[in-house]
Amino acid sequence: MANSIAIIGAQFGDEGKGKIIDFLAENADVVARFNGGNNAGHTINVNGKTVILHLIPSGILHKGKINIIGNGVVVDPAVLMEEIEELKGKGIKVTPDNLIVSENAHAILEKHIREDKEKNMHIGTTSRGIGPAYTDKVARAGLKLIDYANQSNNSKLKPFLKNTALLINNLIDKGKKVLFEGAQGTLLDIDHGTYPYVTSSNTIAGGICTGLGISPKKIKTILGVAKAYTTRVGNGAMPTELKDDTGKIIQQKGKEFGATTGRARRVGWFDALMCKYAVMVNGLDALVITKLDILSEIENIKICVGYKHNGKIIREFSNNIEILQKCEPIYEELPGWKENLNDANDFNLFPQNAKNYIKRIEELLNIPVCIVSVGAERSQTIILRKEFLF
Ligand code: IMP
């Protein structure tokens, strides 16, 4: 059994990480965020009620968990305070005992949001000021939350601020079970994604160490979350994008509209090259496949197993934009299944073609699938391999 688990997006974000973190948080002691800011939107359904969290770790919905926002996160103080109030309004406890924010995290200021809207439209950012805030941090011109709180006399924020590196190392050393909550996905990573159409943080597992101040040796299990197909919000290459009716059907059925901006997500087939790259740069131990239920009733399901570029066949992912934009995906076709999977609770009883689809992904990526998700509810989560979980 793992004592620390990282949840990382294996695609372009929106893979359903929030739901999986919420599911695993039940057995965790600590949930910690290490990157991004309120560009994230984690939608969680509990007992028919929808909660969307942008900044606060999903563990807040469970009693008795410690939630940490690490130094690698950029925090819009106004959004943080609003989210705290909103959760409290829903009867959820949020105090400095169960939410601790790094005093070293940098503040997103109004000027950052203005600049994002003015300068980054071509990227299709979430306009939350994320890029400009990180830019100021790296340029050594940023404002840490502790300084923001002091300068603005923000007495509401101050009690939540601490040195979270000390705290989390302490908790890990005491044997507490920690979940590292990734935001966005591998292909949006500033270094390893489809630059410049990326976010401004390290979304990959390496970001956990810098974004929280812990050693790589302290991360035990790394799980990648991938949808059974691909989606992308914002601009940038997406080789398997579907512009036909099948794409529209998946978009509608999968409710592929952004949790943060409401923008329609671009939809495409599962890209095994891309996910295999995510397996490599993150060192994924196992995969969680979400939204498998959305593919029911599609006659033939495709998986991208190569790219054809300038007459050459490429079998390994490249984040070279020129290749990604111009390549033609090479597909393998698998027969689909008609059955609705929403009530399925035993993988052994899945339609054979749905099982084959998962098995083929395991073969292509060369890692096991440990969880399959077939709906938004906690109960619609099927465990295939317990050894990767708490
Ligand atoms: P930014 O993070 O707002 O700077 O946006 C940069 C790119 O990342 C844009 O293409 C956004 O749509 C995308 N992005 C940022 N956060 C998320 C997310 O949580 N899910 C999916 N895409 C995101």
Q: What pLDDT, in 10s, does the model give residues 76-86?
A: 999 999 999 99
* Mean pLDDT confidence for 359-363: 98
What's the pLDDT band for 260 if we cut at 50, 70, 90? confident
Residue 1 is predicted with a pLDDT of 59
Domain around 384: 227-277+292-367+379-388
Number of domains in the chain: 2
- Cα 298 to ligand 1 centroid, rounded to whole Å: 29
Residue 45 is predicted with a pLDDT of 73
- Cα 180 to ligand 1 centroid, rounded to whole Å: 19
Residues 246 and 219 in one domain: no
Residues 71 and 178 in one domain: yes
- Out of 207, 225, 243, a domain closes at 225
Q: Which of 45-49, 58-62, 149-153, 224-228 has the lowest mean pLDDT?
A: 45-49
Classify burial at 350, counting beta carbons within 10 Å of its beta carbon; exposed 0-12, middle 13-18, buried 19 or more. Answer: buried
What's the pLDDT band for 381 if we cut at 50, 70, 90? very high
Task: Confirm or reject: Cβ of 94 under 6 Å from ligand 1.
Answer: no
* Mean pLDDT confidence for 348-362: 97
What's the pLDDT band for 261 if we cut at 50, 70, 90? confident
**Residue 14 is among the residues annotated as catalytic for this protein:** yes
Mean confidence (pLDDT) of the chain: 95
Residues 102/117/119/183 CA torsion (nearest 10 deg): 40
Could you give the CA distance from residue 131 to residue 134 in angstroms, rounded to a whole number?
Answer: 5
Q: Is 21 a domain residue? A: yes
Q: Is 214 a domain residue? A: yes
**Is the pLDDT reported for residue 331 higher than 70?**
yes
Annotated catalytic residue within 42, 54, 112, 309: 42
Give the residue, by CA position, lying nearest to ligand 1 atom 5. Answer: 125
- Cα 126 to ligand 1 centroid, rounded to whole Å: 6
Q: Which tens digits make up the pLDDT trace of 92-120?
A: 999 999 999 999 999 999 999 999 999 99
Residue 217 is predicted with a pLDDT of 94
pTM of the predicted structure, to 2 decimals:
0.96
Residue 202 is predicted with a pLDDT of 98
Residues 197 and 112 in one domain: yes
Closest ligand 1 atom, CA of 234? 10
**Is the pLDDT reported for residue 262 higher than 90?**
no
Residue 47 is predicted with a pLDDT of 67
Q: Can you give the CATH number for the domain in which 262 is found?
A: 3.90.170.10
* Mean pLDDT confidence for 28-32: 98
**Is the pLDDT reported for residue 288 higher than 70?**
yes
Residues 165 and 244 in one domain: no
Residues 93 and 239 in one domain: no
Residues 27 and 147 in one domain: yes
**Is the pLDDT reported for residue 247 higher than 90?**
yes
- Cα 164 to ligand 1 centroid, rounded to whole Å: 25
Could you give the CA distance from residue 279 to residue 286 in angstroms, rounded to a whole number?
Answer: 9
Asked whether 188 and 10 are in contact (CB, 8 A), the reply is no
Q: Which two tokens stand for residue 56?
A: 């606060």
* Percent of the chain at pLDDT exceeding 70: 99
- Out of 185, 202, 225, a domain closes at 225
Asked whether 118 and 47 are in contact (CB, 8 A), the reply is no
Q: Which of 19, 38, 39, 108 to mutate to test the pocket of ligand 1 (most atoms within 8 A of CB)?
A: 39
Residues 6+ apart with CB under 8 A from 358: 289, 292, 347, 369, 372
Q: Can you give the CATH number for the domain in which 121 is found?
A: 3.40.440.10
Q: Is 372 a domain residue? A: no
Residues 6+ apart with CB under 8 A from 77: 107, 108, 145, 148, 149, 152, 154, 157
Peptide bond between residue 96 and the one before it cis (omega within 30 degrees of 0): no
What's the pLDDT band for 2 if we cut at 50, 70, 90? low
Residues 6+ apart with CB under 8 A from 116: 125, 127, 128, 129, 130, 131, 132
Residues 322 and 192 in one domain: no
Could you give the CA distance from residue 67 to residue 64 in angstroms, rounded to a whole number?
Answer: 10
Residues 170 and 33 in one domain: yes
